[in-house]
Amino acid sequence: MKKMRNLFIIYIVATGLLYPGCQSGSNAKPVKEDGKDSAMVKLITLDPGHFHAALVQKIMYPGIDSIVHVYAPDQPEVQSHLALIDGYNTRKDDPTRWQEEIYKGTDFFDKMLSDKMGNVVVVAGNNKRKAEYIHRSVSAEMNLLGDKPMAIDTAGFKELVQSFKDAAIKKVLLYDIMTERSEISNILQRDLMRDESVFGVLQKGTLQSPAVEMESVHHFYKFVSGSALKRPAWFFDASQQGNSIVDVGTHLADLIQWECFPDMQIDYTKEIKLQTAKKWPTPVTLSQFKDITRLDTFPSYLHAFIKNDTILNTDANGSVNYSIKGINVKITARWNFKAPEGGGDTHYSKFTGTKSILIIRQAKEDKYLPTVYVQPAAGNAAGFESVLTGSIKKLAAQYPGMTIEKTGNSWKVITPENLRIGHEAHFAQVMQRFLKYLKDGKLPDWEVPGMLAKYYVTTYGAAMAERVK
């Protein structure tokens, strides 16, 4: 874990994680440090039904109080959350020292608002009430760090719009956990896009052949912090979890904006046009459902999705085609039951430029690690290797050890292993960014328009998919 902390420092310095545009922004009261453990941030964890709530506490942070107040309904998910925290506290290497103060009851949310035992609310769990949690917490002048999605339908989006308006008035920060911006392959793809000698300019594409395509495949059965993950049954209910478009699709819409239009404000009312959307199920057997939830039967709220008594057709896959600032893009989010041996969740990303195509894929030959490939555009092969080599040498000044390797008609970017710190560690990197924003008292000026833009895509895209039968 000490190595992980050192990597955070190296990573932030090397990648320029806080781009110059981050210094402009607005509105929040700076959170100041007075030298005590409890000085900068006091965390409140609200209704932690998803393991992401625990991952933000996988390490300790300077300036965050070690006492964390948890408010939740009296449900098994709370114990799963506490078990993860206890595992971090009792591990052999670099244990944490969190002290969880628990309140459980049907009035947990109102109790949290009245007690006001902290200044940052962390929300990661059942998404049915998340828009309400966000709005009322912000209205109570509490900063909020929310797991995606912050809205799962158009009504939730409209409430989120109001929440951002209220956050500006109350001078608090509202921010979501976008871990994929910290994944080194996404960073490299972004950096190479900004090198016009390699990429050229982003093509506009068409509806039938988008210039940007992203697909993410997740798995119901997975391991977190070394143990098989137990998911709550409501995770399979789109009315509580949200479907794949509003869930995983949030990361994809965010990455498209972050990579294609860095530090740029996006007006979703004028610059995004939804084109097509669809969804389809992933069948989950009762036996598989038992493995994931530890429950013997399907709960009644899932009965509408059950076929032949033993197959749950969960609302787990979806895609949206849309244009953003005139660029045609497509996002696809899918869920399978379990990853192939040696694999895990996967990410595919393709950006088509006038001089090259940048692709991220996770294949068996790359040990299922996200890997960047650079393919020269048609008619641009002559001299391309020399140009790419020069660009990679510049990047290697930031990321020592980075090289390229020819493979077919493309070049594979060889990424040093020390930059692959893993998905779970990315939550700490998001927290590091958020802590800086709290200290500064402002978000980058492009972040709020960007959050509204991506949640417009996902919520209204999901609504469009519902209408397609």
pLDDT digits (tens, 9 = 90+) for 425-464: 999 999 999 999 999 999 999 999 999 999 999 999 999 9
**pLDDT tens-digit map of 204-235:** 999 999 999 999 999 999 887 777 888 999 99
pLDDT for the residue 284: 96
Strand partners, 217: 334, 346
**pLDDT tens-digit map of 157-193:** 999 999 999 999 999 999 999 999 999 999 999 999 9
Strand partners, 103: 71
Average pLDDT, integer, range 150-155: 97
pLDDT for the residue 469: 62
Q: Could you tell me the two tokens for 148?
A: 């995606």
pLDDT for the residue 29: 62
d(CA 231, CA 295): 10
**pLDDT tens-digit map of 105-130:** 999 999 999 999 999 999 999 999 99
Across all residues in the chain, what is the average pLDDT?
91
Instruction: Answer yes or no: is pLDDT of 2 > 70.
Output: no
pLDDT for the residue 21: 34
Instruction: Answer yes or no: is pLDDT of 10 > 90.
Output: no
Looking at the chain, the whole-number percentage of residues with pLDDT higher than 90 is 83
Please choose, from the candidates 462, 441, 464, the residue with its C-alpha nearest in 3D space to the C-alpha of residue 152. Answer: 462
d(CA 164, CA 455): 13
Q: What 3-state DSSP class applies to 333?
A: strand
- Count Cβ atoms below 10 Å from residue 39 Cβ, excluding itself: 15
- Give the amino acid at 214: M
Q: Could you tell me the two tokens for 457?
A: 């895509």
In which element (H, E) is residue 360 found?
strand 356-361
Instruction: Answer yes or no: is pLDDT of 62 > 60.
Output: yes
Instruction: Answer yes or no: is pLDDT of 305 > 70.
Output: yes
3-state secondary structure labels for all residues of 221-274 = ECEECCEECCCCHHHHCHHHHCCCCCCCHHHHHHHHHHHHCCCCCCCHHHHEEE
- Count Cβ atoms below 10 Å from residue 383 Cβ, excluding itself: 9
- What are the CB-based long-range contacts (under 8 Å, 24+) for 72-76? 72/45, 72/46, 72/47, 72/48, 72/102, 72/103, 72/104, 72/108, 73/47, 73/104, 73/105, 73/106, 73/108, 74/104, 74/105, 75/49, 75/232, 76/232
Q: Could you tell me the two tokens for 459?
A: 């919520």
Q: Could you tell me the two tokens for 189?
A: 């793809």
pLDDT confidence of 24, banded at 50, 70, 90? very low
Domains in the chain, please, with CATH? 2-179+424-444 (3.40.50.720), 181-421 (3.30.360.10)
pLDDT confidence of 315, banded at 50, 70, 90? confident
| 316 contact partners, CB below 8 Å, separation of at least 6 | 243, 244, 281, 282, 334, 335
For the whole model, what pTM was predicted?
Answer: 0.90
- Count Cβ atoms below 10 Å from residue 340 Cβ, excluding itself: 11
Question: Does residue 123 contact residue 133 with C-beta atoms inside 8 Å?
Answer: yes
- How many Cα atoms within 13 Å fall on the side-chain side of residue 295? 17
Please choose, from the candidates 451, 423, 372, 458, the residue with its C-alpha nearest in 3D space to the C-alpha of residue 176. Answer: 451
